[in-house]
A and B are shown apart, each in its own frame.
Chain A
Amino acid sequence: MTRKNVLIAGLAAPVMITMLLLFAGSPSVTANDQPTAANADVKIDNFVFGPQTITVPVGATVTWTNKDDIPHTSVSTDGVFKSKVLDTDEKFSHTFDKAGTYPYYCTIHPKMTGKVVVQ
């Protein structure tokens, strides 16, 4: 046996196990009756939207939470969504029904920008 073959043989087992685990995982999602779209969270912390770019499937709801001592907003640059002013620990959610890229910013601190990519 060559060195290369040993390597492949060695990798095969973990790969198989991973794949089994993945397949095992999917039915449980259906069983729990979860929506197909994965919802996502954006944390506003230290004047930054995190993650700055978030990718979600069509139908997903994105929730912004302000963790700063200073109020912020999350407002779509193209007028698609607009939060009220979010004081500390306040939240805002928007559901994205169409695929596309949605840039947004904080109207109070416009240097703060982010993007939601809906696929």
Chain B
Amino acid sequence: MTDKKQDLIDEKLQDLNNDGIDRRGFLKCMAWAGTGLVWTMSGGIPVSRAFAKAGDKGGDKGGDFSFVQISDSHIGFSKPANPDVTATLQTAINKINAMPHTPDFIIHTGDLSQLSKPSEFDTLDQVLKGASAKDIHFVPGEHDMLSDNGEQFLQRYGKGTKGSGWSSFDHKGVHFVGLVNVANLKAGGMGSLGNEQLEWLDDDLKGRSASTPIVLYAHIPLWTIYPDWGWGTDDSEQALSYVKRFGSVTVLNGHIHQIMQKIEGRVSFHTAMSTAFPQPAPGSAPSAGPMKVPTDQLQRVLGITDVNYSVSGRSLAVVDSPLGDSGASASGNGGGPAAVNATRG
């Protein structure tokens, strides 16, 4: 990226998101400007700075809020890529609890468990109980629906949802939609939403003002990242056609255990890090299986995603933070997923 282009982006960031945050210090390639939407991406910015937003302003303006996305906890996984996924989930929760502002709620974008075992869900519940935010919204990953078509998941985490676990809710003027794209997958295909859910989504969004910010979340990416590894959703185009008329759409996914982002028109796509183990960049390994990194590097490639909504700027700022925030963070673009991000920026 040229300096001139970057300056333009910096200006836009200031214009669009006049919230007092100095974004110049953020990694250049990880800052994006969309229409009425600002992305602040970072695999390694100093966390205190990113999280200091509310404090800097000396109190939130009415309506501003934040929430946190966590993903791919894989409780029950115990292979070399991370022998203690419960501990790293605990670290993620500690990190959330240490934020200067308590997030209004948490969204878990699936793969809570490794094998859909009751004991795995029990362990997850125990850890999540300690989170400062008590309101947690879930969508299942494929690992949560392994042996019983997701019955157990629905009983535990899908109260009030429809079909295989989809639902929507409103929070301080933002409309959130949780979608399920891991049920009834077809041979040779990728993720799938299915007609019933698509009809429901169409209906759910109808009649809403185009100025309502929309957040869609689902486990498998709702944009095609790497078809060879099934990293996409076969009928996501249909779903995205329903949100085209909205001024600000944010799509949050998990599944690929690394940060990826894309802006398409007014739609911003984002995938989160896992709290359990990293996966390789698309095509960089024989398969998408768990990636073993040196033990002291692990916490740099696991993390959480903090999303701040500002009413005045009508913007959502998405900040990814690795679990371990020393070393790699200070030097910026240190870890694998962050590097992927940078090359695409």
Contacts and interface: CB of A to CB of B under 8 A. Distances in A.
Contacts of B115: 71, 85, 87
A70 B81 CA distance: 11
Interface string A74-118: 000100000011011000000000000001110111110100000
Contacts of B190: 110-111
B334 interface: no
B287 A108 contact: no
Contacts of A87: 115
Given A71-B114, A105-B187, A110-B189, A47 B229 contact: yes
A103 B187 contact: yes
B142 A108 contact: yes
B290 interface: yes
Contact of A68 (B77, B116, B289): B289
Chain B contact residues: helix, strand, loop or mixed: loop
Contact of A108 (B80, B81, B143, B229): B143
Interface string B139-157: 0001100110000000000
A95 to B, nearest CB: 22
A46 B187 contact: no
A47 B290 CA distance: 11
A69 B229 contact: no
B189 A47 contact: no
B16 interface: no
Interface string B188-203: 1110000000000000
Given A71-B146, A88-B79, A46 B229 contact: no
Given A69-B81, A109-B142, 15 more contacts: A46-B286, A46-B287, A46-B289, A47-B287, A47-B288, A47-B289, A69-B77, A70-B289, A77-B187, A85-B115, A85-B146, A87-B115, A108-B185, A110-B185, A111-B227
A5 to B, nearest CB: 50
For the complex of A and B, 9 pairs with smallest distance between CB atoms: A105-B187, A46-B287, A111-B230, A47-B287, A110-B185, A69-B79, A46-B286, A85-B146, A77-B187
B287 A48 contact: yes
Contacts of B189: 110-111
A103 B188 CA distance: 11
A110 B233 CA distance: 12
B288 A113 contact: no
Nearest to A69: B79
Q: Which range contains the number of A residues in contact with the other chain?
A: 20 to 34
Given A48-B287, A70-B289, A111 B228 contact: yes
Nearest to B292: A69
Interface string A17-42: 00000000000000000000000000
Contacts of B227: 111
24 contacts: A46-B286, A46-B289, A47-B288, A47-B289, A48-B287, A68-B287, A69-B77, A69-B290, A71-B114, A71-B143, A84-B147, A85-B115, A87-B115, A103-B187, A105-B187, A105-B188, A108-B142, A109-B142, A110-B187, A110-B188, A110-B189, A110-B190, A111-B227, A113-B188
Contacts of A105: 187-188
A111 B142 CA distance: 13
Interface in B226-279: 227-230
Contacts of B287: 46-48, 68
B186 interface: yes
A46 B291 CA distance: 12
A109 B227 CA distance: 12
Nearest to B80: A69
A44 to B, nearest CB: 11
A105 B188 CA distance: 8
B282 to A, nearest CB: 13
Interface string A48-59: 100000000000
Interface in B206-231: 227-230
Nearest to A104: B187
Contacts of A70: 289-290
Nearest to A114: B187
B289 A113 contact: no
Interface in B147-192: 147, 185-190
A108 B114 CA distance: 12
Interface in B54-99: 77, 79-81
